[in-house]
A = this chain, B = another copy of it.
Amino acid sequence: MTRHEFAQRQRQTADLFARAHIVITPREREAIEIADFGVGAFEATGLGILVYVNTDRVCAKELAMLPGQTCPEHRHPTVAGKPGKEETFRCRWGTVYLYVPGSPAAKPLGKPPAGREKTYTVWHEIVLRPGDQYTLAPDTWHWFQGGPEGAVVSEFSTRSTDEADVFTDAAIRRAPEVT
């Protein structure tokens, strides 16, 4: 993505946090991460992220999703005998469609990004609205999507090590590339 796109996406993310009445500092505003997962279609496959803390033991973040924007299917595996990341997602604003293994939704509310449908394999649907939350065990396949207005989600977890994440879609690259 270009620097201009990056700045615009940081602004969109900050706007979503503001709608959720989440106060961030000017320095945090500048530190917002824009993940396009290497797909190059941020509005479809992407996430705005503010990491509050990420120590050896604990991580806390805010996530922002545009309407219909998807964080692609992935899991956090055991690495060197250490259990993978355990995550709790708490919806603060908007609606989130979260998909995990289990009985598939007959008529899911979420829809994978066009052309990438085959890389979405878990279809048990959990709908999170403000005040709702869900805790994922380590190494569980999951993906999630912002609802009609988008969403803001707090994530409480063990240490984040994005480079260890495993994605169903082989085209995914976790690190953002700003050109």
Contact = CB atoms under 8 A, between A and B. Distances in A.
Interface of A: 20-25, 28, 52-53, 55, 57-60, 83, 86, 88, 90, 92, 130-133, 135, 154, 156-158
A28 B131 contact: yes
A128 to B, nearest CB: 11
Contacts of A131: 23-25, 28
A94 to B, nearest CB: 11
Contacts of A21: 20-21
Nearest to A56: B86
A52 B133 contact: yes
A18 B10 CA distance: 27
A133 B88 contact: no
A52 to B, nearest CB: 6
A23 B58 contact: no
A170 to B, nearest CB: 30
A60 B158 CA distance: 11
A53 B23 contact: no
15 contacts: A21-B21, A22-B92, A23-B131, A24-B131, A25-B131, A53-B133, A53-B135, A57-B86, A58-B88, A58-B156, A58-B157, A60-B88, A60-B154, A60-B156, A156-B156
A130 B21 CA distance: 11
A33 to B, nearest CB: 17
A90 B53 CA distance: 10
Contacts of A57: 57, 83, 86, 158
Contacts of A23: 92, 130-131
Nearest to A158: B57
